[in-house]
Structure formats: structure tokens, C-alpha cells
A = this chain, B = another copy of it.
Amino acid sequence: MREEASESMQDYLKNIYLIIRERGGSVSTSELAKKMRVSPPTVTSMLVKLGERKFVKYEKYKGVKLAKKGEIIALEVLRHHRLIETYLVEHLDYDWSEVHEEADILEHHISEKMELRIANALGNPKFDPHGAPIPSADLSSIAKDETTRLGEHISGDIVVIERVREREKEELQYLARIGMVPGKQVEVESVAPFGMVTLTNENGTHSLPKEIAMSIHVKKI
């Protein structure tokens, strides 16, 4: 399946999937251009091509959504990505915060056999080291998101971190350093009106910009 789409197409499909999964609706040319670090005309011409090949539903000036074929490819690439990240952390001594780049390349190049061997070596995990759900081997399912965002919580809430979304490596390293990683418990101390959240965890008290707090998924306890 994935071999039907070039590496570049696979990345477009994956990114369309990720944007829509996070916030629904459809994806605009400029949004995709920004995420893929490519010019808008490049996106337009790729969307035309992906549309012709029935990977996406694209209507001029109206944004793009995935067609079934495209969603399957997106899930396949995402499964590879998240399995690779997990493998690098569990078996090759990578840090949580530094696996992304490597996985972003290798996701397109491992065989189905290697995917299987990696998944087996890991015991078929359902989540990657950031807490992101790994699509099932048959690509039929991916864990539903039942979390809230740390940035939505109010003073006094006590939560457990379930997931930290992809961000710049330095940001992730900082969060790791202050103990804001999946599995840790955090209490919301205060929420300032100008977008700063103060939190306490086992490491002490820390303040984070709301944007960062919104990229941390949690469950209230």
C-alpha cells in the first residue's frame, strides 16, 4: 500500500491526517505549507496529484481531506514512526526528546518485515514514548483520545501526564528536565491571565506558557 505513494506523498498524507485528527475539519494549503516547510504552490500541485490518485478529496480553494486510501497510508507511516521512536528509546538508548528526526526519515524506509520484528521486540506497544497512540498492525484502529489538555485545567486540579505532543527538541528536553513527562503527576497551582500556568510536580514548581501547557495531555485524578 505505502509503496504506491512516494516518500514525499507519504509525508503530506501523514501531516494531513495529524492536523485533522487534532482539530477536525479540513486542511488549508497554507497550513500544510507551513507544516511541511514548503511553498504554497508546491502544496497546491501536490494536492492536485494526490486528488487524481484518490488519496485525498481536494477541492480548489476549499481545503483537503483524506480519502480512505490516503488514510491507510497515513496510518501506516504513523505506525512506523511511533514504533521506531519507541524502539530507539527502549533498545538503542535514545532519549525521549531526540527520537523524532530519526523516525521522521526511517518511517518511509523500513520494510513490513522490520515493522513486525520491531513491534514484536517491543511487545506490540499501544503508545509511543511521548504517549501518542500507535495504530494497530492492521491499521484498523488507533486509541481514542480521552485526555484533556493541561492548559485547560484550573487551579487545584491534580492530573497525570498522559502525553506530550511533538515540539522542538529543546522544548522537549526542557520538559523532560523538569519532570513533565508521561506518567508523572502534576498539580495546577495557578493560571495567570496573560497565559502562564504554574505547576507543581515532584521536582518542584514551574511555570509554563499556556501554549506549551496545551500540548501536554493529562487525565484528572
User: Residues of A at under 8 Å CB distance from B?
Assistant: 88, 91-94, 98, 101-102, 105-106, 109-111, 113-114, 117-118, 120-121
Contacts and interface: CB of A to CB of B under 8 A. Distances in A.
Nearest to A121: B92
A118 to B, nearest CB: 7
A102 B92 contact: no
Give the copy number: 2
Contacts of A98: 113
Contacts of A93: 117, 120
Interface of A is mostly: helix
Contacts of A120: 93
A7 to B, nearest CB: 10
A27 B72 CA distance: 44
Contacts of A106: 106, 109-110
Contacts of A110: 102, 106
A180 to B, nearest CB: 24
A120 B91 CA distance: 11
B111 A94 contact: no
Contacts of A101: 111
Contact of A114 (B92, B109, B117, B121): B92
